[in-house]
Structure 1
Amino acid sequence: MSAYDERPWLALYGDQPADHTLEFDNALDMYRAGLARDPAGVALRYFDGSITRSELDELSDGLARGLLAHGFAPGDRLAVYLQNVPQFVIAMVAAWKAGGVMVSINPMSRERELSYLLKDSGATVLVALEALYDQVGRAVVPGTDVRLVLTTSELEFQTRADERLFAGMTRRRHEGTTDFSEFIAEHRGEAPPPVDLGLDDVAFLTYTSGTTGVPKGAMNTHRNVVFTAQVYRDWARVGRGSVVFGLAPLFHITGLIGHVAVSMLVPTPLVLAYRFEPQVVLDALVEHRPTFTVGAITAFRALLNAPGFDRDQFRSFTSIYSGGAAISPTAEKAFLAATGTQVHNVYGLTETTSPMTMAPFGAPAPVDPTSGALSVGVPIPNTIVRIQDDDGQDLPLGEVGEIVADGPQVVSGYWGKPDETAANLPGGALKSGDVGFMNAEGWVFIVDRKKDMINASGYKVWPREVEDVLAEHPAVREAAVVGVPDEKRGETVKAFVSVTPGATVTPEELIAHCKERMAAYKYPRIVVLLDELPKTVTGKILRRELRG
């Protein structure tokens, strides 16, 4: 038995049990239990519109019956190409009621990407926003297995039509498509027949970002979904009376679990605001007074820097978690000072169905004195996290290696890719691709992605450490560091920085700032100032685009 099997982190759990028993046999039963507890309660809030749990049930029943009438069969895939709108949740539940699998697609996907995702998943149904179908989908669908296209609008289920998001938008029908609401109306009031879903059946396919190759469809099972929903409920203290704010995109694993699944389980209202627009979000926080959310630190930083930000906008929150992008100690302190609320870390991947480690509620994460990294938490219940070398051997506590996770949240594999499954999930444990270490208490610290390591004159430089030092400068809003070719050093360190509004700084000043605080081989030799750093829709900074 290694030090990891002894679970040194258990002492940090407080009143949280070390092991969770699954409360449901599948995610659909989880949803139905929430419905039974509060049928008249609000399930979804969308601007000035709301949908109760019983209404959500009727809508998803009608959609499921319609799907079955059009040949949808157990195990079939339904793809959703939507923003954060109620139709996303309706389609998810309907897919389960019809015995199928939901495929979540990034609404930023263009023709090449959408074509690949539809073909790879073998989806037979596509639910898309009218504008997305018009701009992208119509050119793609004919070459796929999609037999039924349901289109809908972001203007449905609300009447406000905020011009900051919806200016100039109108409804438009497209040839070869069927209106989502009309399709449901044909079968509303009809209940679909019972389905037999097991814990090991796939609930949805979520695609990896494809940074190291083509995107892979992670098979998130009903076991994965039920387990991680319970973890969010218990660790983030989401209970009856809570209100969840959908800050993260619903297509992303964070939104699927940290927003949709946990709101179904508790049950509690989920507030949606179409897509992330800082001032719209700030207004929604005042209107709906949510108590919990989880999102990328880049999104939180954008809110703090938005015109009109006020501490009062965050006063209803009792629990805030951040994942998807590393948090520097400076950013954590700045958030607490600005909002009065402690942001807690959660770390996970698509393949861990969101959480693998979390900071226990109410416990500020420690900072490693050597690297300056803020801990991403301790392993959640039923989960063993190991640090391993390139040969898959456990390293001693405190040593740096690849983070490997094993637990009920780890996916069963990648859709249609047995070789990738064997390589990345050997024996069912996930090789994360992230490099980090665990201290003697069990706190996990991420150093960086393996592929992002910079080799400068034979020395290892981890971009995140340089980024954290840059973040300490008061003029720095965001920073990203990459390695670039250098004749003398092999690689050298290059930083891209966006500046805090109203501040001024020169590249030379930032280089000097780092030089004073870091070993000679680590500090950046080149600093480029940008208005904005490139990011994914989930807020992760795209280093690959900065490498050029």
Structure 2
Amino acid sequence: MTVYTDRPWLALYSQGRPADIALANESALAIFVSAATEAADAPAIKYFDGVLTYGEINSAADALAASLIADGFAPGDRLALYVQNDPAFVIGLVAAWKAGGAAVAVNPMNRQRELAYLLEDSGAVALLALNELYDDVAREVIAEGTTAVRTVVTVSALDGQSRDDRRVLGGQTSDVPAGTSSLTAIIAEHDGSAVRSAAAPTADDLAVLTYTSGTTGKPKGALNTHGNLAFNAQTYRDWMGLTGDDVVLGVAPLFHITGLVGHVMIAALLRAPLVLTHRFAPDVMVEAIREHRPTFTVGAITAYIALADSGGAEAGDFASLRALYSGGAPIAPAVADRLERVFGAYIHNIYGLTETNSPSHAVPFGVRAPVDAESGALSVGVPVFNTVVRVIDDNGDDVPVGEVGEFATSGPQVVPGYWNRPEATAESMPGGELRTGDVGFMDTDGWFYLVDRKKDMINASGYKVWPREVEDVLYGHPAVAEAAVVGVPDEYRGETVKAFVSLRPGASATGEEIVEFCKAQMAAYKYPRSVEIIAELPKTATGKVLRRTLRDEVIARS
């Protein structure tokens, strides 16, 4: 049963859309098996000049699953994936499911302390790692003996292509680290092996543990189920009008929920190619776009900015991209306008969290998001299929339309909880409704606007300042490429507003000039009292600007 309410924006996207989404009751593994069965020869992954078909991915996953089971991998066990945007990620993901278990998505930027925590917390019994990540990081963690890992499989970033002269892969090695098994050798040894019969996963079974960023404490493992992944894969397909003729560009990291659902799962559902480039490097990504002509992608707005500012892009390079979405951070209207001129296509907003398996809101494809007249914020869209979002106060009660409150989300994409964290689950998901920690409002037409993270609000002399609003003004300055605003200690105001900006290539401006620019457009308590110009803002692997890091640096200096 569809849980839409009668809202004016319904007509924007409901015509011809399904009344219900059947894949909410499907497993993610069934989607891959169906693709391998019905489209075995279709390209699944385009990795530089190499191509792997759905049949080849399926056979490789069978081989790895058979090897894992032979080493004692049992139903319910976890395989940690410690790789970049490589074919091995997809092979390992499907292999974990075929072996009756689940995957643990690990950020390849993690170092010893972080990796040890994730392996220990998840209880992973097997690890698939890039050669250099094992040598540089994982070997020491495994040697300490504090994790449950007993099987280590390694892979080279050079695997999956026929030549290795791409500069982004410089320094990679195909040498198999001592004490590990090579994925290439496993595939050859177990080629054609039948996976020992294991109960097929259901929609409610755990598919992937994806860890939160840990902004409010230690990272928590979100229980992304097969049904969660399948539901939002269909959401992408039907909301954006994607078909098997599309080509998906892997801009987002695959370990992140955006890459997992918005790249891997949607490509498998469409039986379409997924273009991967090991990791995001603007010039290399432009080259991949030029070569493979992708049509759809979803990624952080910072990735789009990097592509737009890449010196390697030429006229017509982006012409194939017809469906563009951005999530992970709000888009300033000025940035959206500039990027549309560069890409020749409108970048639609999308909003969601790890706990919502990517989208809970999106701008309907072909529709331009409105801008709130008072705040200047660009809408993050409307709730997607079968999803209900309330805007609530601190007591959990609905606030009136137009008033700011916390987003609380219910729907088939919301995870059932956190791994071994019953108290955190009860606090964040009372009654199965996710308290997002994000603050915003809904207008009278049903459009939602994200104001900021609840914990990022600045209290300047008793006045509330939302960093997002100040950042939107900063993005309107012609020299500003990226901006981040934080609250810093102030003897007089308690907190005051400080901005960090990076400048566009070839542009120049002083901090004082940018302060005056903001002062002319904002109330006295809102504009930044200081602007610090830095070469590059610190970001997560998914492109989110780390305000917390900037705030901590200021406090440390003082």
Instruction: State the shift of 1:30 in Å.
Output: 1.4
Which of these residues, 447, 470, 474, is aligned with residue 443 of structure 1?
447
In the alignment, which residue of structure 2 is the partner of 1:13?
Answer: 13
Change (3 A) 1:535 1:162: farther
Aligned ranges 1:10-409 → 2 under 5 Å: 10-15=10-15, 17=17, 19-23=19-23, 25-141=26-142, 142-192=145-195, 193-409=197-413
Q: Partners in 2 of 1:345 and 1:442 — Cα distance?
A: 15
Q: Secondary structure at the match of 1:108?
A: coil
Q: Which amino acid aligns with 2:21?
A: T
Instruction: State the shift of 1:168 in Å.
Output: 3.1
Q: Secondary structure at the match of 2:224?
A: strand
In the alignment, which residue of structure 2 is the partner of 1:497?
Answer: 501
Q: Partners in 1 of 2:315 and 2:429 — Cα distance?
A: 44
Q: Which amino acid aligns with 1:442?
A: G
Instruction: State the shift of 1:18 in Å.
Output: 6.4
Q: Is the 8 A contact 1:16 1:235 kept in 2?
A: no
In the alignment, which residue of structure 1 is the partner of 2:550?
Answer: 546
Q: Is the 8 A contact 1:9 1:379 kept in 2?
A: no
Normalised by the size of structure 2, how large is the TM-score?
A: 0.96
Instruction: State the shift of 1:53 in Å.
Output: 1.0
5+ long unaligned stretches in structure 1: none
Q: Deviations over 1:179-217 (max 9, x none)?
A: 111122221101212532111101100000001100000
Aligned ranges 1:500-511 → 2 under 5 Å: 500-511=504-515
Instruction: State the shift of 1:8 in Å.
Output: 5.1
Q: Deviations over 1:19-54 (max 9, x none)?
A: 432236211111122223311111111001111111
Q: Secondary structure at the match of 1:355?
A: strand
2:422 paired with 1:418:
yes
Q: Partners in 1 of 2:302 and 2:395 — Cα distance?
A: 35
Q: Is the 8 A contact 1:7 1:384 kept in 2?
A: no
CA RMSD of aligned residues (A): 1.4
Instruction: State the shift of 1:4 in Å.
Output: 9.0
Q: Is the 8 A contact 1:4 1:385 kept in 2?
A: no
Q: Is the 8 A contact 1:344 1:364 kept in 2?
A: yes
Give the length in aligned residue pairs: 546
- Between 1:177-186 and 1:165-174, the stretch displaced more is 165-174
Q: Which amino acid aligns with 2:201?
A: L
Aligned ranges 1:521-532 → 2 under 5 Å: 521-532=525-536
The percent of aligned pairs where both chains have the same amino acid is 57
Q: Which amino acid aligns with 2:468?
A: R
Q: Is the 8 A contact 1:103 1:123 kept in 2?
A: yes
Change (3 A) 1:488 1:321: same
Q: Secondary structure at the match of 2:367?
A: coil
Runs of 4+ in 1 over 6 A off after TM superposition: none
Instruction: State the shift of 1:163 in Å.
Output: 4.2
Q: Partners in 1 of 2:198 and 2:283 — Cα distance?
A: 44
Q: Partners in 1 of 2:180 and 2:304 — Cα distance?
A: 38
Q: Deviations over 1:287-340 (max 9, x none)?
A: 000010110010000011111223411111120110011111011101111111
Instruction: State the shift of 1:16 in Å.
Output: 5.2
Q: Which amino acid aligns with 2:167?
A: R
Q: Deviations over 1:488-520 (max 9, x none)?
A: 111000000101111111111111111110001
Q: Partners in 2 of 1:171 and 1:48 — Cα distance?
A: 17
Q: Which amino acid aligns with 2:193?
A: E
Q: Is the 8 A contact 1:404 1:429 kept in 2?
A: yes
Instruction: State the shift of 1:5 in Å.
Output: 5.2
Q: Which amino acid aligns with 1:183?
A: I
- Between 1:195-204 and 1:31-40, the stretch displaced more is 31-40
Q: Secondary structure at the match of 1:316?
A: coil
Q: Is the 8 A contact 2:132 2:173 kept in 1?
A: no
Q: Partners in 1 of 2:162 and 2:274 — Cα distance?
A: 18
In the alignment, which residue of structure 1 is the partner of 2:556?
Answer: none
Q: Which amino acid aligns with 2:236?
A: Y
Q: Is the 8 A contact 1:18 1:382 kept in 2?
A: no
Q: Partners in 1 of 2:273 and 2:198 — Cα distance?
A: 26
Q: Partners in 1 of 2:430 and 2:276 — Cα distance?
A: 38
Change (3 A) 1:492 1:4: farther
Q: Partners in 1 of 2:345 and 2:14 — Cα distance?
A: 20
Normalised by the size of structure 1, how large is the TM-score?
A: 0.98
Q: Partners in 1 of 2:410 and 2:461 — Cα distance?
A: 36
Q: Which amino acid aligns with 1:545?
A: T
Instruction: State the shift of 1:15 in Å.
Output: 2.2
Q: Is the 8 A contact 1:311 1:339 kept in 2?
A: no
Q: Which amino acid aligns with 2:36?
A: L
Q: Secondary structure at the match of 2:325?
A: strand
